[in-house]
A and B are shown apart, each in its own frame.
Chain A
């Protein structure tokens, strides 16, 4: 697949993160370009989720620079990530189990709602108009991810694979520029994985969303990503196209073990 990528969206330079004496990330640099699907892989405890948390501001690295859309970023709070166009899904699903699919996805629009609490409670005037606008956007996402039939179903009653899809829907409802997916396919069967792959590719294609994903299924990663970063014990050991990474001896060693 030959594709052209745009400018750098986020550039991570010499990031180091530690919790007390534990070094989670050591001197890691890589960038993410517009419209690409960037995978982060590595064995358990390699620091993948920490890396995502650095990108969306949950963790603040002790060292290094983050340049987001050409501006250096300092001490960002996680809620600011959403307003800057970064959405994410979680490794362990974080939806409101008792709420319907529709309401869950509506929460993804929260950042874009402008009316005050009172007018929303009265559901009157501008608030009503605003809600209709948001509902329209949400319905587009529902249509896109083909979850019309579960629109009014409480999330807790859905099978795991569909819950993952609802979580993706909520992230998409925020119309993100950068979408972070933390193991979107964990625990899915083959068919669900195929569906999810197709949706990720479609999102990337249709909306031009830049995607950073963590995934364990090597087949999936090698199939859908444009570039891959490989972490091991908090250090970067490989970076490049799937083919380059596959033939990188350090990566092979990390995954298959070496004989010392």
Chain B
């Protein structure tokens, strides 16, 4: 080069960009996605594709034509939203509901707040809750898996959590075994394998994409709250293991609650946030009318993030 660059320091940069971080999240989601496709087959693949494609398309179109600023369009970030949304839907969801959900996630929850980095709520979760209250029938219609792997003990009709009022807490607790860790039939497609989700989470930790504190504090709170209630009356309240392994706790704690934009930045803020999610979700499960509380708990705690960011800061050097 005949003319050289001049800029303030630093002159080098870490090998990390918004795109690379989001790519890592997608890679981390792959094990769970593969397992869900194996169990649910082409239908699941279709939902994933429709959701991801429409999220990317909506984000690009809104950034390009409404904001007229393509810097707002981050393809991998929109993909993450799309995949997470798909993983939170039952496999039988009609395609147009998926598209509607994607439009809500990107258009209303993300872009209307100003786009990437500005949204208050996690787009995928907010869209899921939107669909849940708008289409309660379709959204709780759980079908038996008809994928490439057939499970003998698969049962259809309801999720494990949905079994609680039917069977009672004692019987429901017995349904949870080591097998549940590997695969857990019924419920949203993405929740099928706790192990696959945890593998993805471990990948994110190793790549230093996220820190473990939020996820761990959710797990700990769920375990403690469920433990206390379960000890008090095991016939009414399901135990810690059941509550950790069923529903979207692992998916929510590992991938949704840890979303950069809608979670606190400081470690202690993150811990409080996690404890809040764990506590709220257990309250909804035990006392609410919905069997599943992860989405609502995360959305509620999303609202506290600005406050948590204001109250909790890292330790400053040389200041008490």
Genuine A/B complex:
no
Where the two chains meet, the residues of A that have a C-beta atom closer than 8 Å to any C-beta of B are none
